[in-house]
A and B are shown apart, each in its own frame.
Chain A
């Protein structure tokens, strides 16, 4: 059958089926099972109203259970099994996890993912905040916003092509058609080169290291703090784990800062950007930052507009300068939204697959967990280790999951 026709038929069957299901199940409930007539009319109405919500929910619950809840447990089970020759599975305990932990590619993916986790949400939120704050002040702000927001509509694959053109390399002597190489060849090792290639990136790295350090400290502080209320054992352990990871990040950043100032740059040589270890990760991250900044900007701009004018006016009257207004008056009022933006982008980062898959496919030390997992599942056909990789991603998402559920429940009360 022609797929388009099949699609049309599916829409008709799907939509018609849904409508028919809801309509007839309600009729059966009201007319056949518990008719609101006769001696038991009152009791029947109550019973029908007890069952009706579940009629409304049933299709959604079935789909959610089958397509999201069941796979979580099935993946957990698969990660503890191994395929046997000739069909079937056998239970192997944690062997898949042990094998995975021995693979350098896994650790490469894991540490790269951590780097992504820090850089992408931080940069997207920072740019988003900047864009929101600036565009709210000018006349053509709406147009500017919609142009910055636009990459949101572009697929990761499309964005990968867009940035591959930017990173394109031609042999030395030919005209460069990639913007980055064209700019790079403009550097000659003079003062400008020192500022843009050593000072600015070095300071950025130091800032990132400082950010990670602050995060590590804020994670560890309640655990070692003497201010009475200490967190529970689980949260304490999570905090210590987070703090250790952040400390590792600080170390990596400091080492790279040193490298920025000491490395000899090959001026005048066109570079193949995506093959430079460590730095190529950043070239991939730029793609996601480019896409996600619009999202951060939209949410933060709405939050900034929601700030009561009186608070800002009071601060002005008290003689606060624009920076004080921004950091001391506005920031504390939008910190909730910043957390939302940050966690949402964090989840997107943990699942990032298309960009790496399309641009480097994990070569040249750019592996990430999602792509590692895909490699295991569909190239090496090793479902056990692949599922173990998926469980690691799930584990990294879990803190955010708990946090979201906790907040949603708090909000409902």
Chain B
């Protein structure tokens, strides 16, 4: 009803809540991975990422000082001190403690516990303890299980390992540069080829034009799965084999129909007067194209460039068929992640970080140039 100016829908709060729920549902998965990539492996394994913002309860196993430090006080061998200081860990606020692994939170801090056999222990909330025994103690101290609140903690260590550790063979830095090497030429080259073709299809009159346009619309939906084997055979026969050249050519070929389609649709809409005036003034087609059409078509060029960049950056299939050979030197990020999924299926700190390294660049491109992406979508879908 809000289509009529001045009338506000009574249900607007419901709409707001519904959108909020929808957005939350859509962002939640990515957020989980993002937060996980800033947690240590132990943190990820011990609690769900959605609890990472709240302080977590953690169970620690600490030891009192050993028998050598015991003093004889009132006929009892006694050790005292601070549990955290003794183990050299950060001091925490203890909420419960226990002396048996079967019941780690049996006693409240400050409680004095008779452990039997004449052994008595008391642990304060800050970790101070007094432990005494009627008999002489052994060399190692008594085990104490404490439950403590740990403040939320995040680390950049995962990214450091993934990107900047030269000894990490599972690292992403090489794959990152390989992906960049694949996607930039594969984005730029088809644009130019397509722009000329689109101009011819939009503004030049020649027999067979309509047929060509129809053919390009048809090629838009041909699954690239069909091209894998014939082209791999072709590349091997003409000596390209598996490598960057092959993957650039393949991406160029696969990207062309969409490029021509988007650019032609855009160029057709440019005002006829400009082009005809230029022709009357004696400009050649080549001049019209480079001086008038190309600058005016910038929005369409940008939309296709974003599409092609996202597609080549995110691609897996074309890369494993045309690029990655048995040496693995030319691996791309998507392939690297697949490998990690196989070998490091449970190590979420590694997987999450690797995935986010590969997702980060497309996300930046997406948020920076969303306007062009939307425009391209609207122009590029067959109507």
Quick one: closest B residue to A354, CB to CB?
Answer: B316
How many positions in chain A have a CB within 8 Å of any CB in the partner chain? Answer: 117
B89 sits at the interface (CB 8 A)? no
List A338-358 residues whose CB lies under 8 Å from chain B. Answer: 340-341, 343-344, 347, 350-351, 353-354, 357-358
CB atoms of B33 and A165 under 8 A apart: yes
Chain B residue, CB-CB nearest to A159: B29
Q: Is the CB of B19 within 8 A of A135?
A: yes
Least Cβ–Cβ distance between A412 and chain B, in angstroms: 6
A312 at the interface (CB under 8 A from B): yes
The verdict on A137 contacting B9 (CB below 8 Å), with A393-B225, A397-B222 known, is yes
A66 contacts across to B, CB distance below 8 A: 234, 253
Main secondary structure of the interface of B (DSSP, over half): helix
Give residues of chain B (162-207) contacting chain A, Cβ–Cβ below 8 Å: 177-178, 180-181, 184-185, 188-190, 192-194, 196-197, 199-201, 204-206
Q: How far is the CA of A175 from the CA of B338 in the complex (A)?
A: 26
B197-228 contacts to A, CB under 8 A, are 197, 199-201, 204-206, 209-210, 212-214, 216-228
Which residues from chain A contact B351 at a C-beta distance below 8 Å? 161, 164-165
A285 at the interface (CB under 8 A from B): no
Known: A144-B19, A165-B33, A165-B36. A154 touches B362 (CB 8 A): yes
- Interfacial chain B residues near A233, Cβ < 8 Å: none
B84 to chain A, nearest CB (A): 24
Asked if A97 is at the interface of the complex by the 8 Å CB criterion, the answer is no
Q: How many A-B residue pairs have CB under 8 A?
A: 342
Residues of chain A within 8 A (CB-CB) of B321 are: 378
Q: Return chain B residues, CB-CB under 8 Å to A358.
A: 316, 337-338, 341
Q: Give residues of chain A (137-156) contacting chain B, Cβ–Cβ below 8 Å.
A: 137-138, 141, 144, 146-156
CA distance in complex: A56, B200 (Å): 6
CB neighbours (8 Å) of B204 from chain A are 49, 52-53, 56
Segment 157-194 of A: residues with Cβ below 8 Å from B? 157-158, 160-166, 168, 175-179, 182
Q: Is B73 an interface residue (CB 8 A)?
A: no
B214 touches A409 (CB 8 A): yes
Q: How far is the CB of A407 from chain B (nearest CB, A)?
A: 7
Q: Tell whether A71 is near chain B: CB-to-CB under 8 Å.
A: yes
Task: Give every chain A residue within 8 A of B48 (Cβ-Cβ).
Answer: 175-179, 182
Residue B330 CB within 8 A of the other chain:
yes
A residues 2-60 in Cβ contact with B at 8 Å: 3-4, 6-7, 10-11, 14-15, 18-19, 22-23, 26, 30, 49-50, 52-54, 56-57, 59-60
Output the least CB separation between B319 and chain A (Å).
Answer: 11
**Chain A residues with CB under 8 A of B22:** 127, 130-131, 134, 144, 148
Inside 8 A of B185's CB, which chain A residues have their CB?
A: 7, 10-11, 14
Contact call B224/A351, Cβ cutoff below 8 A: yes
Whether A411 sits at the interface, judged by CB under 8 Å, is yes
Inter-chain contact B378/A67, CB cutoff 8 Å: no
Complex Cα distance, B250 from A175, in Å, reads 46
Partner of A177, one of B3, B44, B209: B44
Interface string of A49-86 (1 = CB under 8 A from B): 11011101101110110111111101100100000000
Total B residues in contact with A, Cβ cutoff 8 Å: 118
Contact residues in A for B383 (Cβ distance below 8 Å): 336, 340, 407, 411
Q: Is A293 an interface residue, CB under 8 A from the partner? A: yes
Of all A-B residue pairs in the complex, the 9 with the closest CB atoms, nearest first, are A67-B253, A155-B314, A60-B197, A153-B366, A74-B230, A56-B200, A71-B227, A161-B355, A71-B230
Q: List residues of B whose CB falls within 8 A of some A CB.
A: 1-4, 9, 12, 15-16, 18-19, 22-23, 26-30, 32-33, 36, 44-50, 177-178, 180-181, 184-185, 188-190, 192-194, 196-197, 199-201, 204-206, 209-210, 212-214, 216-231, 233-234, 244-245, 248-250, 252-254, 256-257, 260, 284-286, 289, 310, 313-317, 320-321, 330, 334, 337-338, 341, 348, 351-352, 354-355, 358-359, 362-363, 365-367, 370, 373-374, 377-378, 381-383
Supply 6 further A-B pairs (C-beta < 8 A) apart from A353-B317, A407-B383: A69-B219, A157-B355, A158-B358, A165-B49, A176-B48, A394-B222
